[in-house]
Chain A
């Protein structure tokens, strides 16, 4: 009786339930599309075709997904340690400063494959340091990390505005951004991979950061489930009391987890800055940090889930842009509504359908939910 709901087989837990949640989100979104007088089925086709139909669409989808993988991983690492890092947005934004310094310094002298590692280190270091302050305040002073990281988003934004309209802006320029980077800070595109499969690509920003994101996803998996540090983070995340009992230092684990989270947030910067725009402009993060929260929740804090959820959100971004273009009645704001519905059903209402699915499974075969084995034989 201590566990009111039974366990589900893994494939239902990680496959079926997200699928049901997603379907419901799209059905409700369909009604919204009907309300504005458009055909929801045609809208769905445009959305999916826009994202995956052509080579260019796929490349854009994966480009957006790259950004979301980084921010999703950032949120997930902190969440495994029981910390809600809402500061991913600000940590990514301020990390733009580190990337800018490296790129502006070396883009004339070094080739991209030397600038890139330096920029990775700079982005990660600045992001980590920006997360260090709220982490320290949480660990030592008990200041709530949600509050402090939100505040730090504003501070980061203000600092970046100050720098981009002042010191970092080339003299005489009207635009609040750095000068454009030269070839030494431009990352190679990955479009040729998609072209290998026969698709045509006009011009798309998909770049090597996508591979870096996949590597980081693997490293995060390794960290969380295969290292002592990850074990300690998860222990603290589930139960601070158990962590204290196990001799895990609260201060140390909070600071380390937040710095790793901040570093991942910072690395997100590389994708749009070095892979696409080749400059650091005002507001280049544009909400990707917050999308990371949704991605992490939807991916159930698991790197594989996060990569899939990031691709889903990449699809909504790319397909949504196409949709807004094809159907004038559907504006950008409508796309935000659809994204909101996905977040609502996949994240906030995650447990809405679970009891029914469980009851269904139980009625088919109690063994599949593992109950007889658990309750029956207990000593």
Chain B
């Protein structure tokens, strides 16, 4: 094996009582792509933050290039040749590419000289790694994939030999992701070391040389990618065997439950986010909406559920119109049998400061079952919460526990239990498994299919293409606020990917 670029020896890090990293040992070989996988909260981000100087380890040693290193700030990390591309980009939106690249690394007191120097350096980097970007473009006018490229250039400009990427493909179309992987391979060929943090196992298999698995703050295994399988990695992550594909029978679609006609929605700045969309969902089918984040899916969900006012269009629920442009209120829609699992469970679907039982009635707190006159019927609420905890295997099974103390998967189960147990006719679900661990994904998918099999109309919006493909009976693809295509579940990833990227091709239509 080549010389280690980074060695982590016995790293420990606690936050109060939480041990985010315990006795982590990790060796990353120079000139390789090393994947780190693990569920949410497994400690991946903490470990990388220690490496990048955001946090200090409580104990343990970091060696960079064989020499012990003390990394107290991100400047130390940069000086040691470590660069990081964050999940959420750290770019100034209204600066140009060049200005962003030199930000904090200006070589001269006068900007003009710095920019001139940066421009020639940038040209060299672009040539060497195939990272073409217009240096004078304004960041906010660039697509997400190119913004990410700017982040990578920023790290390289600062002399990064080791590049850490945190969940880099979350915001990318499949084609953009492929392009990113080609760039990473090129970087590797030039002798750079790449650390890829992700929860997408297929990416790990496609691109990495080695992969390390974390679970509950410990490093449970490191494998050579060639010698492992997706199934083995998933099992290592969760600690038990998991079913990666949901099994489901044929859909038996019935009557139209929800019909959306010519719906147009604008965001708070007045930009049209949903542009004249029409579709319908029948009883007993799951309709999936695929698309890269930010193409109007969020606004569509908010409008249908009554949270955001639509500009125009009509929606029929069970054949009766609902007034989404005016008075429609989420409470009223709920009474009419439309349940909504929102994308953002932390701020919308749940009140994190509430006890679990309080969240289990959110939105249904008018229901006489939970009330005694103006008072809450605490006994009934607790009994109901315990019932849901059991049915949905919510852990820990304590309805008095603060919701913030549940894991992402269990929080999502709290929302799903609440919405599904009301026996709605229509269920709309945004990002059903975002930030949810592998074990819970399996459970949530099974539940959604069970809803379908009971004859409910289910709308699923997700940026995870795999999820859309495995759940949906029909797939609608959204791009720039419009539905650009409808496909069956057998559609290939490439085909959907092209639609998601807005490439309208006649041959793709058939």
Contacts and interface: CB of A to CB of B under 8 A. Distances in A.
Nearest to B359: A242
B347 interface: yes
Interface stretch (B1-9, B12-20, B107-115, B193-201): B12-20
A216 interface: no
Contact of A379 (B349, B354, B440): B440
B46 A1 contact: yes
A232 B20 CA distance: 35
A358 B16 CA distance: 6
B444 to A, nearest CB: 10
A247 B347 contact: no
Contacts of A232: 365
A202 interface: no
Interface string B21-45: 0000000000000000000010101
A228 B374 contact: yes
Given A370-B405, A371-B17, A378-B406, A226 B216 contact: no
B331 interface: yes
A374 B348 contact: no
A330 to B, nearest CB: 41
B351 A238 contact: yes
Interface stretch (A3-11, A52-60, A157-165, A277-285): A3-11
Of B17, B374, B396, B398, which is in contact with the most chain A CB atoms at under 10 Å from its CB? B17
A239 interface: yes
Contacts of A246: 330-331, 362-363, 365
Contacts of B344: 241
B174 to A, nearest CB: 29
A373 B396 contact: yes
B342 interface: yes
A3 B20 CA distance: 10
A1 B17 contact: no
A108 interface: no
A369 to B, nearest CB: 5
A238 B340 contact: no
A283 B267 CA distance: 49
A238 B353 contact: yes
B285 interface: no
A232 B17 CA distance: 33
A2 interface: yes
Nearest to A354: B16
Interface string B344-364: 100111111110001000110
A5 B16 contact: yes
A242 B395 contact: no
B380 to A, nearest CB: 13
A368 to B, nearest CB: 9
A245 B409 CA distance: 20
A244 B363 CA distance: 9
B70 interface: no
Contacts of B305: 245
Interface string A1-24: 111111100000000000000000
B464 interface: no
A375 B374 CA distance: 37
A6 B437 contact: no
A1 B408 CA distance: 11
A242 B344 CA distance: 10
Contact of A247 (B332, B371, B378): B332
Contacts of B375: 222, 226-228
A242 to B, nearest CB: 5
A232 B306 CA distance: 18
Given A7-B405, A374-B405, A375-B216, A245 B307 contact: yes
A1 B18 contact: yes
A227 B413 CA distance: 26
Given A374-B405, A378-B395, A379-B443, A355 B410 contact: no
Contacts of B203: none
Contacts of A183: none
B349 A245 contact: yes
A229 interface: yes
A362 interface: yes
Contacts of B406: 374, 378
B376 interface: yes
B97 to A, nearest CB: 33
B257 interface: no
Contact of B349 (A2, A242, A361): A242
A228 B348 contact: no
B365 A375 contact: no
Interface residues of B, number: 58
Residue of A229, A248, A249, A358 contacting most chain B CB atoms (<10 Å): A248
Contacts of A228: 365-366, 371, 374-376
Interface residues of A, number: 42
A366 interface: yes
A247 B329 contact: yes
B404 interface: yes
Interface string A230-266: 0110110011011011111100000000000000000
A374 B347 CA distance: 21
A358 B17 CA distance: 7
Contacts of B440: 379
A379 B396 contact: no
Question: Which interface residue of A235, A241, A247 has the most chain B CB atoms within 10 A?
Answer: A247
Nearest to B358: A231
B405 A227 contact: no
A4 B347 CA distance: 19
A18 to B, nearest CB: 19
A142 interface: no
A222 B45 CA distance: 43
B388 interface: no
Nearest to B362: A246
A329 interface: no
B456 interface: no
B351 A247 contact: no
A234 B402 contact: no
A375 B351 contact: no
A359 B14 CA distance: 10
A374 B334 contact: no
A374 B406 CA distance: 7
Nearest to A357: B16
Interface in A329-379: 355, 358-359, 361-362, 366, 369-371, 373-379
A375 B376 contact: no
Contact of A361 (B17, B306, B404): B17
A3 B409 CA distance: 15
Contacts of A241: 344, 347-348
Contact of B16 (A229, A234, A362, A374): A362
A133 to B, nearest CB: 26
Given A238-B353, A378-B437, A379-B440, A231 B16 contact: no
A79 to B, nearest CB: 13
B18 A6 contact: yes
Contacts of B374: 227-229
Nearest to B438: A379
A6 B17 contact: yes
B397 to A, nearest CB: 9
B393 A231 contact: no
21 contacts: A1-B18, A2-B41, A3-B404, A4-B15, A4-B16, A4-B18, A226-B375, A227-B376, A228-B376, A235-B362, A242-B350, A242-B351, A246-B330, A247-B306, A247-B331, A362-B17, A366-B17, A374-B396, A374-B401, A378-B41, A379-B439
Q: Which 4 A-B pairs have the closest CB atoms?
A: A247-B331, A362-B17, A6-B17, A378-B407
Given A5-B16, A244-B330, 6 more contacts: A1-B41, A4-B18, A7-B402, A226-B376, A245-B342, A247-B332
